[in-house]
Structure 1
Amino acid sequence: MSNPEPTTSAAPSELVFSFGTLLDEKVQQSLFGYRVNMLEDFLIGHGTTEVVITDLDVIAKSGKKVHLGLVRREGDTVSGGLLALSPDELAAADAYEVDAYARRRVPTGAHGQAWCYVSADSLDVAERIALIGDSIAYGRCTRDGGWAARVASRHITRDEENNRFFNLAWPGATMLEILDAAEAEVAARRADTVLVAAGINDLLHADGRGGAQVGQDVIARLESFCEAMEPQGRRVVVMSPNWVDTTLVPCLDLGEILDLRETLRSWSERTFRDFLDTWDVLADRPALFSDGLHPTAEGHRLLAEVVGNFDLHPGPSVS
């Protein structure tokens, strides 16, 4: 395969692994104005699936109504190519990809870390999920393990041979404590996706620090955690804190909890990482809490619907 020299003067600085239409010369000409040099490469621990495209502009550029998407499959590989793009070209690629895709970091088999357009629904395409969190993730104040047990059951039922869900939650622990302990635990279970559900205890045990400082400390530790996980091929998904009834838990400030939520959201958006916002599920609904902090069984059921992408009004099951 010949690789003509680029005709653009912009210096490429962003590496993008593609396994689909971004490798097509027609698409590259439409987006970048030239055919991009490509290095052959591959992803470990992934397989492909079909994604139906409804965006007419994307269909016009690619000539296809069905594109490829990635799913996690331990032991599989996906072949593709590594493209070097300028920041403007990367922005053009972002605009081209439909909402079903999200740009995230992946380690390639031959050339190290690169951007890749993966499924926007991180948990739906995961195979081995590790949950690290606090007592809410653990399921305290419920008899059945709470939202995490429901999500685990759904995930494993979809593929009992390959799918796994490991609840590594640690009641009472802060985000900093959880992340410090999690790296070896996650690796031991060969998790491809790490769901992080914590943060309230960091505000409860602030040790004189203000909410803003707590948020900065959490982000700094999350950043280093992601930098350790991503080169191993693990995708980190950060959940928002939940609403708290501060009339029953007066040591917490609702404004500081909202600030932490926004800090996590803006960091995730800025750094191209996954953020799962569950705030609205329980906000201003004190009847869904057993003690103002921990959800009731019904609160956990509603959280599970959002985290596990359950049908809110399920019909008859089919096989």
Structure 2
Amino acid sequence: MVHPERTTTSAPADLVFSFGTLLDEKVLQSLFGTRLNTVKDSLIGHGTTEVVITDLDVIAKSGKNVHLGLVRREGNSVSGGLLALTPDQLATADAYEVGAYARRRVPTGAHGQAWCYVSAEPLAVAERIALIGDSIAYGRCTPEGGWAARVASRHIARDEENNRFFNLAWPGATMLEVLDAAEAEVSARRADTILVAAGINDLLHVEGRSGAKVSQDVIARLESFCDAMESQGRRVVVMSPNWVDTTVIPGLHLDEILDLRESMRSWCQRTFRDFLDTWNVLADRPALFSDGIHPSTEGHRLLAEAVGSI
């Protein structure tokens, strides 16, 4: 098996799978000031689409105002190549890729896990989405099935032949419980994208633990879950906890919910995972709740708009 040629410096190198302009010798020379060895590889379960580029500096480097982007396509694959980049080169590549792209982990066909610049809108390019979460994700207190049913309807309508949405939410469950149960469930449904919406119950069921300890446990379990899912080619999108009217919910403290939200956000940013922050959709709007914790029909409608925008 041939591997990309690693840098001769002491700095470690990261493997990056490219399917577009990062394989162009002129672009590589412009970005890094040198040619880089590339090795052929592929990305399974994906197809390509066109991304219009408006950044003039990127257009000048690539010579193109339309680049390739990735979409999920079960049974398809995208050919490309692997590059070995130093941390400085990786930062340069990050700066080159426009806001339509996000650096995420993917398993390549021949060389194992690598970085790849995929769509920054994970749900928009997904094919088979699995939602795991608690009663809010399940749609409790709404006859229409909550925000998830609205998102599912729009997702399936975009491509009724291929798109699927599986609501695997578990009312009353903690984040740790839904993650433990999810691995077999999402595999059975061949989900390519997993939306994780839980966390409030972890703070309700603290069992003597502090809010800080709950956050630590949630992040540790999220890390192991994401590692397992990414090794299988699945992309995980972590939703923030929603605002809760703690004046009517005994045992919940607003500062602990905010700390959990910040722990999730900072962890996702630090480890290059997707974070969907819905906090401000319902924050300080108790009229949008049926009981202080479960959104009303209007609250779910607003959440659906926020989730459906990515």
- For structure 1, the residue ranges without an aligned partner over 5 or more in a row are 311-319
CA contact under 8 A between 2:242 and 2:279: conserved in structure 1? Answer: yes
Change (3 A) 1:167 1:5: closer
Map of 2:121 onto structure 1: 121
Q: Which residue of 2 aligns with 1:77?
A: 77
Q: Which contiguous aligned blocks of 4+ residues in structure 1 show a shift greater than 6 angstroms? A: 4-8
Matched AA of 1:100: A
Residue aligning to 1:287: 287
**Paired position in structure 2 for 1:272:** 272
Deviations along 1:293-314, whole A, 9 cap, x unmatched? 000000000000010119xxxx
The aligned residue for residue 29 of structure 1 is 29
Q: Aligned AA for 2:283? A: A
1:186 partnered with 2:186: yes
Per-residue displacement from partner, 1:127-172 (whole Å, max 9, x unpaired)?
0000000000000000010000000000000000000000000000
Partner of 2:206: 206
How far apart, in 1, do the equivalents of 2:306 and 2:233 lie? 25
Deviation at 1:7, TM superposition (A): 8.9
1:29-68 to 2 correspondence within 5 Å?
A: 29-68=29-68
State the 1:12 CA deviation: 5.0
Counterpart mapping for 1:1-319 below 5 A? 9=9, 11=11, 13-309=13-309
| SS of aligned partner of 2:237 | strand
Letter in 1 for 2:224: S
1:281-300, Cα deviation, whole Å (9 max, x unpaired): 00000000000000000000
**Does the residue aligned with 2:58 lie in a helix, a strand or coil?**
helix
Query: How high is the TM-score relative to the length of structure 1?
Result: 0.94
Q: How far, CA to CA, are the matches of 1:164 and 1:10 in structure 2?
A: 46
Question: How far apart are residue 250 of structure 1 and its match?
Answer: 2.9
What is the number of equivalent residue pairs in this alignment?
A: 308
Q: Distance in 2 between matches of 1:33 and 1:206?
A: 54
- How far did 1:9 drift? 4.3
Q: 2:6 and 2:308 mapped to 1: Cα distance?
A: 44
Q: Confirm or deny: 8 A CA contact 1:132 1:170 kept in the other structure.
A: yes
Please say if residues 10 and 86 of structure 1, whose CA atoms lie closer than 8 Å, have aligned partners that are also in contact.
no
Asked whether the equivalents of residues 6 and 35 of structure 1 are also in contact (C-alpha less than 8 Å), the reply is no
Q: Counterpart of 1:227 in 2: which secondary structure?
A: helix
3-state SS, counterpart of residue 107 of structure 1: strand
For 1:152 and 1:164, locate their aligned partners in 2 and report how far apart those are by CA, in whole Å.
Answer: 8
CA contact (8 A) 1:17 1:80 kept: yes
Q: So what's the TM-score if we normalise by structure 2? A: 0.97
Overall identity of the aligned pairs, in %: 83
What is the aligned-residue RMSD (CA, Å)?
1.5
User: How far apart in 2 are the matches of 1:260 and 1:10?
Assistant: 38
User: What SS does the aligned partner of 1:143 have?
Assistant: coil
Does structure 2 conserve the Cα–Cα contact (< 8 Å) formed by 1:6 and 1:34? no
Contact 2:139 2:148 in 1 (8 A): yes
